[in-house]
Amino acid sequence: MIIAILLGLQIGAVPPSVVSARAGTLESVVPLVETSAGRVLRLDRLAPALPITVRAEGPGEFLVSLFDVAMRLSDQVPYARVGTTLIPLGGAPLMDRGALLVPLQLVSEVLPRLVPSRLSYDPVRSELRVLRGATAATPTPAARSRTKRRVVVDAGHGGPDNGMTGPIGSRQKIREKDITLAVSMELAKALRREGIEVIMTRTTDTLIGLYDRGPIANERGGDLFLSIHVNAANLRWRRPGDARGYETYFLAEAKTEDERRVERMENEAIRFETTVQAPKNDPLSFIIHDMAQNEHLRESQELAAAIQAGLGRVHPGPSRGVKQAGFVVLTTAFMPAVLVEIGFGTNVAEARYLATPARQREIADAIAHATMAYLEGYERRLGSAGR
Ligand SMILES: [Zn+2]
């Protein structure tokens, strides 16, 4: 009896001897090799189930391509490089007769975080799964330039997450989630009138997780992601009720205290979520997402500038400019993505403005027109780049 129990414990503790990649019924099984630096495997052997290629670029230097992400690994260096970001590895990659061996952690942790909408790792089966519909790289807007444009409209907050409420010093309250939904519905209408296909992350008063909004956009093949929000003044400001105006964000590291304030405020919504896919306080996951987004950074910035200028034609408040911050909702959308703060709900006049249906339509039309202008410019840029 005792022997059986001990045996059972021992079996339970035996580490896996293989790791596999699976895409539907296609499976690649790769043996794990025990080394003094821990368990390693040949990364290229995860193909063909995993759409990965490993190419030697120089002595001890390797370029790994996975979906649309390029990662560099060096022999004996315990970091992976994606763009200019260093991702710490559980151990250093090794070379064995010209082949690259990597620590298991690269497969179990780093790769799924690099492309969270396309990969997940099952530690029980030591299996890296290619998620359905993810076997081919997501077509880029360029690849789809001849087909109908798809814009994702994301109404901020919803359900138990009211977002901000305001204004300060008034008994009549507005809730951010109602304003964002009303404006987003109008925005969808305006874009559809222009022949755009619109995907909405929500059309009712429901809670959609911040980490789920981007994947919804990715799975539905969005070309652009527009997230609509209402700003709130910091109560510690000298006259918080006076703050007014509109600003448009693209995803990048927040540089100013004000950008960090809006970043904190919008990322707060995570506390309403019972299951959050990516841990909130995981700087690594943010950096990786950010890098995956980088290719869209310039385009996101262009789109933000177009929207900010467009709003300037209708909005009574001052322009607070194009800004940048690390919004969770933008990190998982692999397309040009912006977050628009359409005004301050904490200001009495602006709250009234934002709650007026005719004004909501104006705001939506301005964002829609700016989006169309951006798309035309984008198409022209693609056209001239192709010649
Ligand atoms: Zn918000």
pLDDT of residue 243: 96
pLDDT of residue 294: 58
CA–centroid distance, residue 149 to ligand 1 (Å) = 26
The pLDDT of residue 208 is above 90: no
What pLDDT score does 144 carry? 45
Distance 156 CA to ligand 1 centre (A): 5
Task: Name the more confident of 242 and 211.
Answer: 242
Q: What's the mean pLDDT in 370-378?
A: 91
Distance 150 CA to ligand 1 centre (A): 23
Helix (H, G, I), strand (E, B) or coil at 346: coil
DSSP letter (8 states) at residue 81: E
pLDDT digits (tens, 9 = 90+) for 271-329: 776 654 444 444 444 444 444 455 678 888 999 999 999 999 999 999 999 998 878 77
Taking 60 as the threshold, does the pLDDT of residue 96 lie above it? yes
How many whole angstroms separate alpha carbon 71 and alpha carbon 90? Answer: 16
Angstrom distance (rounded) from CA 224 to CA 218: 10
Domains of the chain: 18-130 (3.30.457.10), 150-386 (3.40.630.40)
Count Cβ atoms within 10 A of the Cβ of residue 205 and give its class: 0-12 exposed, 13-18 middle, 19 or more buried: middle
How far apart CA 297 and CA 290 sit, in angstroms, is 9
Residue range 95-109: mean pLDDT, rounded: 89
Q: What are phi and psi of 255, to 5 degrees?
A: -105, -30
| Spacing, Cα 165 to ligand 1 middle (Å) | 10
User: Residue 295: what pLDDT?
Assistant: 63
What mean pLDDT is reported for the chain? 83
Report how far ligand 1's centroid is from the alpha carbon of 139 (Å): 30
Q: Which amino acid is at 355?
A: A
Query: How far is ligand 1, taken at its centre, from the CA of residue 135, in Å?
Result: 34
pLDDT band at 133 (very low <50, low <70, confident <90, very high): low
pLDDT tens readout for residues 174-202: 999 999 999 999 999 999 999 999 999 99
CA of 207 to the centre of ligand 1 (A): 13
Ligand 1 centroid–CA 172 distance in Å is 19
163 alpha carbon – ligand 1 mean position (Å):
5
